[in-house]
Amino acid sequence: MKYEIKPLPYSYDALEPWIDARTVEIHHDKHQAAYVAKLNAALQSCPDFVHEGSILSLISHLDAIPANIMTAVRNNGGGAYNHAFYWDGLSAGKTSPSENLSLAINEAFGSFDKMKAMLSDAAVNRFGSGWAWLCSSENGDLSIISTPNQDNPVMGAIAGFREKLTPLFTIDVWEHAYYLKYQNRRNEYVENIFNIINWNTVNQRYFKAIS
C-alpha cells in the first residue's frame, strides 16, 4: 500500500494567466510528487500508517508517529497534503464567498478587503518558505496565520498551535510556486491569487468546519 498523488482538478493551463501552465506542471508533477514519494519511503517501516487513513489524518496525529520518522512524515506528509489542498482552493471560474462566510469575514476582519490585506501580508511576509492560511475555529471564528516549511494548522501542538484550526484556504509561498513567472515578485503572485480563489470549495470547507 502506498499513498498516491492526488491528480490536479484541472488542466495545467487552467490558472493562466495568473499562474502559468509550466509552473503548475512542475509544481504538481515534480514537487508534489516528490513529497508523496518521500512520505511513502518514510512509512516503509510502518505500513500500518498507510492503509489506516488519509494523509490528513496522518498529519493531524503526528504524536502517534514513531519518533524516528516523525520529522519526515511532518515535512513530506505536510507537503503532499498541503499541495492537494492548495490546488483544490484555486480555479479560474467566477465564484464568491457564501453569505455565511461573508458574515464571518466581516466579523473577524471588518471587511473582505481587510481580510485580503491581512492574508496577503501573511503570505508576503512569511520569511523563507511556507504557507499563508485562512482558518476557522470550531465555532466559526476566522483567523489568518502563516506556517514555515510544510507545516499545516492541523498539526496542532507539534507545529506550535494550541487551538485546533481548520484550514479554509492557503497560499503556497515557496519560490517554486511562482518563480518562473514572477521571479522575486512574490507580492504580485499573491495579489493575483485572489483572481483565482475557488470560493465554492472554500465555502464548503467553512460549512464543514462549523457543522
Tell me how far, at minimum, the Cβ of 162 lies from Mn ion, in Å: 26
Pick the stretch among 6-14, 35-43, 115-123, 168-176 that binds Mn ion (CB under 5 A): 168-176
Using the minimum distance from each CB to Mn ion, give the nearer residue, 28 or 116. 28
Q: Is position 88 an interface residue for Mn ion (rule: CB under 5 A)?
A: no
* Residue at 148: amino acid letter: P
- Candidates 20, 195, 32; CA nearest to 116 is 195
Q: Is position 174 an interface residue for Mn ion (rule: CB under 5 A)?
A: yes
Q: How far apart are CA 107 and CA 68, in angstroms?
A: 43
Number of residues assigned to the chain: 211
Pick the stretch among 106-114, 155-163, 169-177, 193-201 that binds Mn ion (CB under 5 A): 169-177
Q: What is the DSSP string of 12-48?
A: TTTTTTTS-HHHHHHIIIIIIHHHHHHHHHHGGG-TH
Pick the stretch among 11-19, 101-109, 125-133, 174-182 that binds Mn ion (CB under 5 A): 174-182
Q: Is position 172 an interface residue for Mn ion (rule: CB under 5 A)?
A: yes
Dihedrals phi, psi of 26, to nearest 5 degrees: -65, -40
Q: C-alpha grid cell for residue 182?
A: 514572477
Tell me how far, at minimum, the Cβ of 77 lies from Mn ion, in Å: 14
Tell me how far, at minimum, the Cβ of 87 lies from Mn ion, in Å: 10
Q: Is position 85 an interface residue for Mn ion (rule: CB under 5 A)?
A: no
- Candidates 151, 167, 159, 176; CA nearest to 201 is 167
Q: What is the DSSP string of 88-146?
A: HTB-SS-----HHHHHHHHHHHSSHHHHHHHHHHHHHT--SSEEEEEEE-TTS-EEEEE
Using the minimum distance from each CB to Mn ion, give the nearer residue, 175 or 188. 175
Using the minimum distance from each CB to Mn ion, give the nearer residue, 43 or 173. 173
Strand, helix or coil at 203? helix
**Ranges within 100-159 binding Mn ion (CB under 5 A):** none
* Residue at 64: amino acid letter: A
Q: Is position 206 an interface residue for Mn ion (rule: CB under 5 A)?
A: no
Using the minimum distance from each CB to Mn ion, give the nearer residue, 46 or 56. 56
Using the minimum distance from each CB to Mn ion, give the nearer residue, 88 or 97. 88
Pick the stretch among 18-26, 114-122, 171-179, 203-211 that binds Mn ion (CB under 5 A): 171-179
Using the minimum distance from each CB to Mn ion, give the nearer residue, 119 or 177. 177
Tell me which residues touch Mn ion (CB under 5 A).
Answer: 172, 174, 177
